[in-house]
Chain A
Amino acid sequence: DADVTQTPRNRITKTGKRIMLECSQTKGHDRMYWYRQDPGLGLRLIYYSFDVKDINKGEISDGYSVSRQAQAKFSLSLESAIPNQTALYFCATSDFGFTGELFFGEGSRLTVL
């Protein structure tokens, strides 16, 4: 099984719908992240969490919310999806410490019509 698992892997939805992307990890890491990838724009940080009680906004948090249900679970929600939120979404984790290495899930491709 993958260390960082994202569900769903693919989702097509309509404008205005609420969408939740889920992430679970078995690496035992405290730090979890949600990134968004758009063609030609690289990865941009949406939200990150240092531990269950710590949630921080990234550079593009508007229109998104997150929930850290447990050390191993970090969910991203789009309360009312819009077409420009069509993108590839990645969850990642990292260990406490200064190695800086991120471990990524396989991504969730979201299409908003």
Chain B
Amino acid sequence: SQQGEEDPQALSIQEGENATMNCSYKTSINNLQWYRQNSGRGLVHLILIRSNEREKHSGRLRVTLDTSKKSSSLLITASRAADTASYFCATDAFGGGSEKLVFGKGTKLTVNP
């Protein structure tokens, strides 16, 4: 089944540095989403990028999408300790609905004060 795969699995940085996470997927998509999960909590939607978009910004977040490479990246600029969390990408199937979002295994980000 199609699935987003995040890379790296874990990332540790210092406060103030930028964090970049990558997601690869297997088949054509309508859109790709990124979610954040604080330890043991529910997932929170961060940003959605459609297949006809190449870049999207939201505050300190920048998401890029390269459909030719079937990959996306999430950049968090000027990271803060509060950004410590796991980050997941989620993809849907071309022609399908968002009810079949498929999540990757996540990148665990640690931001050290």
Chain A positions within 8 Å of B100 at CB level: 45, 48
Q: How large is the interface on B (under 10, 10 to 19, 20 to 34, 35 or more residues)?
A: 20 to 34
Whether A104 contacts B43 in the complex (CB less than 8 A), given A42-B88, A99-B98, comes out as: yes
Which residue of the partner chain, among B33, B42, B92, contacts A90 with CB atoms under 8 Å? B42
Q: Does B88 lie within 8 Å of A48, measured CB to CB?
A: no
Binary interface encoding of chain A residues 93-104 relative to chain B, with 1 for a CB under 8 A from any of its CBs, else 0: 010001111111
The stretch of B13-21, B60-68, B102-110 that contacts the partner chain: B102-110
- Inter-subunit contact A102/B45 (CB<8 Å): yes
The secondary structure that dominates the A interface is strand
The answer to whether A33 and B43 have CB atoms under 8 Å apart is no
**B1 touching A59 by the CB < 8 A rule?**
yes
Establish whether residues B98 and A104, one from each chain, have CB atoms under 8 Å apart when the complex forms: no
Within B78-103, the residues touching A (CB, 8 Å) are 88, 90, 92, 97-103
Are A42 and B105 in contact, with the CB atoms below 8 A? yes
> Which residues of A come within 8 Å of B, CB atoms?
4, 31, 33, 35, 40-45, 48, 50, 56, 59, 88, 90, 92, 94, 98-107, 109
